[in-house]
Amino acid sequence: VKIQSLRGMPDLFPEDLEKWHIFELKLLEIFNSFNTNEIRTPLVEFTELFARSVGNSSDIVNKELYSFLDRNEESICLRPEGSASVIRAVIQKKQEQDKHKLWYQGPMFRYERPQKGRYRQFHQIGVEYLGFEEGTSEYELIAMVLQIHQSLGIQDYTIKINHLGDAQAKEKFCTSLVSFLEPQIEELHEKDQARLKSNPLRVLDSKEKSTQELLKNAPKFQDFISEKSKRFLKDLVNAFKDQCNIQIDQSLVRGLDYYTGIVFEIVSTELGAQDAFLGGGRYDNLSNQLGGKDMHAIGFAIGVERIIELLNVKHTSQPLKVGFIIAGEQIDKKTYKIANDLRSANKSIILDTFLSEGSLKSHLRRANKNNCNFVIIIGDDELKNNQAIWKDLCEDGDQELLSFKELIDKYTNL
Ligand code: HAM
């Protein structure tokens, strides 16, 4: 039997990755323009890192973590997200007091039920701003998000945004929500009964009708957060509402425990059930929770598989492509040298060497299929005379015999 890949862990072939490369280039450009720099952390961490950050009661840690014992009987896991690792790394380097503008990308792992837009290995590209208190950093990150949309040609999206108050407000609200719901726990949907015990805030974003009905008369988060926080949220929304579709959503609590302050999520109706392609927010307490010094933190992560679906841009200029056909009978080191010299002479051209045996005709057919603009043909006769045939593949394109030196000149100035 053939060995298959794991469920929810798709392969990505060159044709799938074309869009990824455009996306990565555009994002790198934007990150550079914000002076935001890359950090790389390991794919594997101690399980405890995520238990203490994302939260023991969250679905991500509770049900979806790829955790196992290593050979030394330590509980380690494949990372389900990037923020906790970034904070861990900065604490480990004792740099909590500095300011950091960081981005990262790579695979994340969650044992979820796979469906369209939801995988067990998926990719995120994320940004974390560390050391900046609530204020301009929120504005800057929303501005960055808008730049990303503009640069990728994404038009159909809604930014949902909310303010979770500070840690005390969050706690007071939870207590009050629990005392309101507990006497009526039987009326809550089964799933939400469990949530009420483990992570009451998550009851708010329940999709179950019976739960939503009960919540109508429940205490409102808005009544627990300060005027200052409410004002900040309003001002932030007002600052951007002319430029994009941004809406306050009071049921937005996010599935990770570490948030306090502003949280946001971006959805698109073009995506179907898994419609959120970006999520983020402020998490000022995480450094402390992980044993570090006080450090403000805010960031977001994009689900790459999902945003790629929305991409509406093409490569602006396709590089020229030249096919290199060795039509001779025997292998000659001269041909490899000339191919190498060509590549050194002009790196902006793609030189596609046809490596397998075959007739000249089949090579030419392949060159056409691969969208080559030109081909270079070197047969036994040409090789003997240090010459090559240069052929233009456009309709009525001509063909000429060049010395190796002329060939390099032509290629350099193409
Ligand atoms: P998150 O909302 O869990 O946030 O994930 C961010 C994005 O990753 C989601 O909006 C979604 O597009 C994508 N995503 C999540 N799970 C899957 C999956 N199973 N398959 C495909 N895509 C998925 C975080 O991870 C936070 N660390 C974001 C953050 C950074 N907050 C502050 N800084």
Complete DSSP assignment for 27-62: HHHHHHHTT-EE----SEEEHHHHIIIIITTSHHHH
* Residues having CB within 6 Å of any atom of ligand 1: 81-83, 110, 112, 118-119, 122, 124, 126, 128, 255-256, 276-281, 299-301, 303, 305-306
Summarize pLDDT for 342-369 with one digit per residue, the tens.
999 999 999 999 877 788 899 999 999 9
CA of 304 to the centre of ligand 1 (A): 9
Residue type (1 letter), 190: E
At a CB cut-off of 8 Å and minimum separation 6, what does 2 contact? none
pLDDT band at 202 (very low <50, low <70, confident <90, very high): confident
For atom 15 of ligand 1, the residue with the nearest CA is 303
CA of 302 to the centre of ligand 1 (A): 6
pLDDT at residue 66 in the model: 98
Residue 299: beta bridge partners?
128, 281
CA of 41 to the centre of ligand 1 (A): 17
Neighbours of 39 (CB within 10 A): 16
pLDDT at residue 347 in the model: 94
pLDDT at residue 378 in the model: 92
Q: Is residue 382 over pLDDT 80? A: yes
Q: Is residue 328 over pLDDT 80? A: no
pLDDT at residue 171 in the model: 87
**Structure tokens of 29?**
């450009």
CA of 351 to the centre of ligand 1 (A): 39
Residue type (1 letter), 148: I
- Alpha carbon distance 123, 157 (integer Å): 20
User: Which whole number is the average pLDDT over 50-73?
Assistant: 92
Q: Give all strands (DSSP E) within 201-253, no chain letters.
A: 246-248
CA distances to 12, 117, 121, 348, 351 from 5, rounded to whole Å, are: 12, 18, 11, 36, 33
Summarize pLDDT for 148-175 with one digit per residue, the tens.
999 999 999 999 999 999 888 888 998 9
CA of 410 to the centre of ligand 1 (A): 49
CA of 277 to the centre of ligand 1 (A): 8
pLDDT at residue 170 in the model: 86
Q: Which atom of ligand 1 is nearest to the CA of 301?
A: 28
Q: What percent of the chain has pLDDT over 90?
A: 74
pLDDT at residue 209 in the model: 87
Q: Which atom of ligand 1 is nearest to the CA of 114?
A: 19
Q: Which atom of ligand 1 is nearest to the CA of 82?
A: 27
User: Which whole number is the average pLDDT over 264-272?
Assistant: 96
Q: Which atom of ligand 1 is nearest to the CA of 306?
A: 12
**Structure tokens of 162?**
């909310």
At a CB cut-off of 8 Å and minimum separation 6, what does 165 contact? 173, 221, 224, 225, 226, 229, 260, 261
For atom 17 of ligand 1, the residue with the nearest CA is 118
pLDDT at residue 163 in the model: 95
pLDDT band at 407 (very low <50, low <70, confident <90, very high): very high
CA of 364 to the centre of ligand 1 (A): 46
pLDDT at residue 176 in the model: 93
Q: Which atom of ligand 1 is nearest to the CA of 83?
A: 27
CA of 125 to the centre of ligand 1 (A): 9
CA of 383 to the centre of ligand 1 (A): 57
**Structure tokens of 141?**
């990150």
Q: Is residue 186 over pLDDT 80? A: yes
pLDDT band at 335 (very low <50, low <70, confident <90, very high): confident
Summarize pLDDT for 271-285 with one digit per residue, the tens.
999 999 999 999 999
Q: Is residue 299 over pLDDT 90? A: yes
pLDDT at residue 59 in the model: 87
Q: Which atom of ligand 1 is nearest to the CA of 277?
A: 12
pTM confidence score: 0.91
pLDDT at residue 262 in the model: 97
Conformation bin of residue 402: beta by default, left when phi > 0, alpha when psi is -120 to 50: beta
User: Which whole number is the average pLDDT over 119-133?
Assistant: 98
For atom 31 of ligand 1, the residue with the nearest CA is 280
pLDDT at residue 191 in the model: 83
For atom 11 of ligand 1, the residue with the nearest CA is 303
User: Which whole number is the average pLDDT over 324-341?
Assistant: 84
For atom 13 of ligand 1, the residue with the nearest CA is 303
pLDDT at residue 189 in the model: 86
- Alpha carbon distance 226, 6 (integer Å): 47
Q: Give all strands (DSSP E) within 97-179, no chain letters.
A: 100-109, 121-130, 158-163
